[in-house]
Structures are given as C-alpha cells and as structure tokens.
Structure 1
C-alpha cells in the first residue's frame, strides 16, 4: 500500500509538477519516443519500479522499439542510437548520477553542444531533473508497479 497514494498528492504540488510537464511537452526538442527512453533510463538508474513500468509502456506507445528501450542501460556498447542520442544519454546519466568530475561534465556538455543549442540543453536538463523528481516522489510515497496503463498520468 502506498504511503501517499497518487490521488492524495497535494493539489498545489501536482499543479506545479504538471505545469512543468506541460512546458516540457510543448518544447518538441526531441521525439517523444526518445524522451520516454530517457525517462526510462533515469528511472532504471534510480531503481524506481513504478516509473520504469510507466516509461517502458509509454515509450512503446510512442513508437519506440523494445530493443532500444532495454538497451538504454548499455547504450555505450550498442549502435542503436545516433550520435545526438548518445550525447543526450551521456548528459542524462551525468545529470542523474551527479558523480562526474568537473572535466567529465564539461566534456559531456561540450559533446551535447554539437547537437543542441544552449536553450535546448537547458530545457532538456529540466526534463531530466523532472523525471528525477518524479522518481523521488514515487519511491518516497511508495507507488506500486504493476498496473500502469498508457496515458494514465
């Protein structure tokens, strides 16, 4: 049983989170299917079962292949992602794990700048921070995996 059921999250908190989601969705910087891969990757790093299930299902619904979703954990060892996607996966891990050295983070940022503007990078970083926030809420509140339906949230 969840500690705080989804439907009992305070309205102002949900409004804040959903306003950010609306803003992120309006950006259209990358395909929604790959955005879901990034959300899935962050959720795997954070070991958030509820969000892993959600973003796997949402990625499939958005047209992403199962192989690319599953392989996001080993993206460095595959050729399933183009160069801009690899740069974004690297940045996503850097922003999520926060254990890169200053030089590593700079190299990751420099690589990302080959494909995205500074504004795009800022907004993509917000997207990464947002899924990290959802992971922390879901884990803290005890959301249970197993019953998510596409489009539910």
Structure 2
C-alpha cells in the first residue's frame, strides 16, 4: 500500500489549527495515560494503522504495559482498567461510532460519575481530535514506519 497524499503541506493553515487543537487536548489536564488509551481505542475502531502504531509506541514510552495495550480492544473483558478508564473507553467508543445510535443517556450519566462536566467536555474533545487524525490518515493512507516484514518477523 502506498500513501495517497501528503496532506500537511496541502492545507497548512488548517493543519496549524488542527495541531493547536491537538496541543490544547494534550494540555487539558486529563491524564496522559488516559489520553493514550482513548487515542488507541478510537484508532482501533477506525482501522487507522498509522495511529494505532504511533499511539501504542507513545504509550509504551510513557510507561504503559504491553499487556494493557494488547487488551485495549477487549477492555470490557479485562480487569486491568480502572473504573475511570472504563468510562473513558466506553465514551470513546460511543462518540467514535456516533452514527450508530448516538450517545445513550445511560452512558452519559455513567461517564459523568467519573468525569465532572469540564473534564467530560475535554474528554470529548480528545475523542474528536483523534477521530480527525484517523480520518486524515485513513483517507490519505498514511503509512506507519515498517519495522517488520509481512511474515510478522522482524528483519
């Protein structure tokens, strides 16, 4: 697979705005580890290999364990996530899949138990910005760095 388009230089003003939005999410006060989980889960749902690769690497660099990273896709069945992380992951899934039924009232209420109003807005912004990055990367086929051959074994 080859990239379709290098989108950064094609819309520099919009990319500067997106980078500023992204920075504001990073600086929002939400825990860095929580943001990694949100980015990774949304990227998995959206099938964005570039972002799954990048955010799993960044999470490991910040101390996240391999086991938890492997289990993000199956977080409901794993005891390794805190109630706050579970709330964020459920919210991430609903907001990412918003066309499949919106965000149910019971999920909103359950998420508010772990995220006060201002944090819930910040969490929603975090989900929103990673969805923008996913859509750009998938649409224009951003390619993650290749460290392994298709056989699955590193060279």
* Interval containing the TM-score (normalised by the shorter chain): 0.7 to 0.9
Q: CA RMSD in A?
A: 1.8
Does the CA-based 8 Å contact 1:33-1:60 persist in structure 2? Answer: no
Q: TM-score, normalised by structure 2?
A: 0.87
The structure with the largest helix share of the pair is 1
Query: How far, CA to CA, are the matches of 1:142 and 1:100 in structure 2?
Result: 24
> Following TM superposition, by how much is the alpha carbon of 1:100 offset from its aligned partner in structure 2, in angstroms?
5.4
Does the CA-based 8 Å contact 2:37-2:89 persist in structure 1? Answer: no
Aligned length: 146
Does the CA-based 8 Å contact 1:87-1:111 persist in structure 2? Answer: yes
1:33 equivalent in alignment to 2:53: no
2:84 match: 84
> Following TM superposition, by how much is the alpha carbon of 1:143 offset from its aligned partner in structure 2, in angstroms?
0.6
> Following TM superposition, by how much is the alpha carbon of 1:106 offset from its aligned partner in structure 2, in angstroms?
1.1
Rg (Cα) greater in structure: 2
Distance 1:109 1:100, change over 3 A: farther
2:112 match: 113
> Following TM superposition, by how much is the alpha carbon of 1:101 offset from its aligned partner in structure 2, in angstroms?
4.1
1:43 equivalent in alignment to 2:43: yes
Q: Write out per-residue CA displacement over residues 20-52 of structure 1, whole angstroms, 9 at most, x where no aligned residue.
A: 0111111112x2122112101111100011111
> Following TM superposition, by how much is the alpha carbon of 1:141 offset from its aligned partner in structure 2, in angstroms?
1.2
1:132 match: 131
Q: TM-score, normalised by structure 1?
A: 0.88
DSSP-derived class of the 2:43 partner: helix
Query: How far, CA to CA, are the matches of 2:111 and 2:23 in structure 1?
Result: 24
Does the CA-based 8 Å contact 1:36-1:58 persist in structure 2? Answer: yes
| Unpaired segments ≥5 residues, structure 1 | 149-153
1:151 match: none
Does the CA-based 8 Å contact 1:50-1:143 persist in structure 2? Answer: yes
Structure 1 window deviating more from structure 2 (138-147 vs 47-56): it is 138-147
2:151 match: none
Query: How far, CA to CA, are the matches of 1:75 and 1:34 in structure 2?
Result: 13
DSSP-derived class of the 1:73 partner: helix
